[in-house]
Amino acid sequence: MSATEPLRLTKLAKRAGCAAKHPPGFLLPLLGMLPPVTDPKVLVGSSTADDAAVYKLSDELALVLTTDFFTPIVDAPRDFGRVAAANALSDVYAMGGKPLSALSIVGFPDSLPATVLGEILAGASEIANEASCPIVGGHTIKSEEPIFGLAVVGTVHPDRVLSNAGAKPGDALVLTKPLGLGIISTAAKNDQDAKSAITEAIRVMTTLNRAAAEVFAKFEVHALTDITGFGLLGHLRNVTAASGVTAEVWAKAVPVLSAAREYVAVGIAPGGTRANLKFLKEWVEFAPGITNEEQLLLCDAQTSGGLLAAVPEGIASQVTSALTVAGTLSAAIVGRITGTGTGRIRVTSHAG
């Protein structure tokens, strides 16, 4: 990079954002090798591949514990910090909790000026302050690529934890942000973002899931998760497997950023998205007519994506109306829980 060229953080990373995560086919067998957690105060551990852990302190209070970090998904340092912070905070919202405080996790190359890291930290603080969650410290190491994220502690009432393991047959599936963030960020990184869609993608990624979580707290919600590196179908698979149910997703009902549809049609997709699709072939049945491009969109590795909730079908329209009033980016019923089972998912074009 010359003195006249603007800094582009994505050019310093081999993989961007949550697409840099190891795929579920790599991680899930490792989780199965861990000894079982027997402490009765651990309300949610790693056994169901949930978004965060929950530890009970008293009959009235439990802690939500999570960490999330990755390499740059956007070029501007401040935006990188903002996206990474919103992404990490989302795990607390996905458990029905409220963020309390956070610690920074930093890997930073010697080749970059310290002012770049200052901008990353400033961006993260901006979003953390919006969430009323102060960043109170952290840790840094030297690394070849920039890495940033947060370890977040939140609180939740033990009786109001929303895990990924409670979905019931007959539930509707409600999604609160559009898909396509991985595809668009990959296009931008590779200088293929002809529509400058990264601007809209950054707006989506830096929007907290707080408003959506506050809406869900007012309704009966059986299961909740956020959509990040494993994509919509990958995180839904975690829900169905943990809940012992099967599900159906309606591809045409899923909100997608328009540029992502155009980009995936010409072959643009991150490696993490393709890895997700490969893993999910064992879990997902795609109906005839669901194109490979649609399959990739449903498996797209999101960064700071929306919340996916399983709610009783009878209140689903009320929930989506409340989400719309609250200003969430989307409020779409994208499928349903179809029955008991081992976690299988069927994707059709429309509701049957």
By annotation, the residues acting in catalysis are: 18
What angle separates helix 271-280 from helix 231-243, to the nearest 10 degrees?
40
Q: How far apart are CA 52 and CA 175, in angstroms?
A: 19
Q: Measured between alpha carbons, how far is 122 from 212 in angstroms, rounded to an integer?
A: 25
What sign does the CA torsion over 288, 237, 249, 268 have?
Answer: negative
Angle at 12 between CA 9 and CA 13, to 5 degrees: 100
Contact 198, 81 (CB under 8 A): no
- What whole-number distance in Å separates Cα of residue 30 and Cα of residue 77? 33
Buried b (16+ CB within 10 A) or exposed e, 177-198: bbbbbbbbbbbbbeeebeeebb
Q: How far apart are CA 301 and CA 233, in angstroms?
A: 10
Q: At what angle do helices 181-189 and 258-265 cross, to 10 degrees?
A: 60
Query: How is 259-303 classified by DSSP, letter by letter?
Result: HHHHHHHTT---HHHHHHHHHHTTTEEEPTT--HHHHHHHT---S
Closest to 180 (Cα-Cα) out of 268, 239, 247: 268
Give the helix ranges, DSSP H, for 146-216.
181-189, 198-205, 210-216
Burial class (CB in 10 A: 0-12, 13-18, 19+), 155: middle
Reduced to 3 states, what is the DSSP secondary structure of residue 21? Answer: coil
